[in-house]
Chain A
Amino acid sequence: NAGVTQTPKFQVLKTGQSMTLQCAQDMNHNSMYWYRQDPGMGLRLIYYSASEGTTDKGEVPNGYNVSRLNKREFSLRLESAAPSQTSVYFCASSPGQIGNTIYFGEGSWLTVV
């Protein structure tokens, strides 16, 4: 059982380049999330999709866009990467009811130079 799978695991971008982080879950979960993790700041929610066809901004959405392609997949796009977007990105999913456990992928390390 793969759980939450993210690609790529590592990526180096030049300032201004664009890229898409892919995420897929095989647990038939309704809700999916993108978080970023920065030293000393914990994890902060970028975007959230409560169910297929819906997306909402989280705490730090600027510079990002998302697509909930179907129930399984939730992608995160950086249109014009900036050094401030150097971070570790985690995709996550949950059944969607309040209090449900949220399951995380293994992370994508992104460096913008």
Chain B
Amino acid sequence: QVHLQESGPGLVKPSQTLSLTCTVSGGSISSGSYYWGWIRQPAGGGLEWVGRIHTSGSTNYNPSLKSRVTISVETSKNQFSLNLSSVTAADTAVYYCARDPVWGQGTLVTVSS
């Protein structure tokens, strides 16, 4: 069974770049045909897809965030990463990495000076 674990800074200053990593264990990130994705959830709020990357390397980003989002894979480390630039307080949320049907435990990122 695949296990996913998010990591990264819990506090990011406004206008800076939010960077998170998802470490995959129990399986290879380059095997099969899967989407590896990032979803976020503001405190007390609903769920929003940020973006995803396919095993083939193709990416899909939420159009509402598209100009600020980059998702990439580091095959040698069995990890995939999220970069979200020019963050504001509206980007404060719990960020989850996921690959159907498995989700990580989530990591809270707060945007504040």
Do A and B actually bind? no
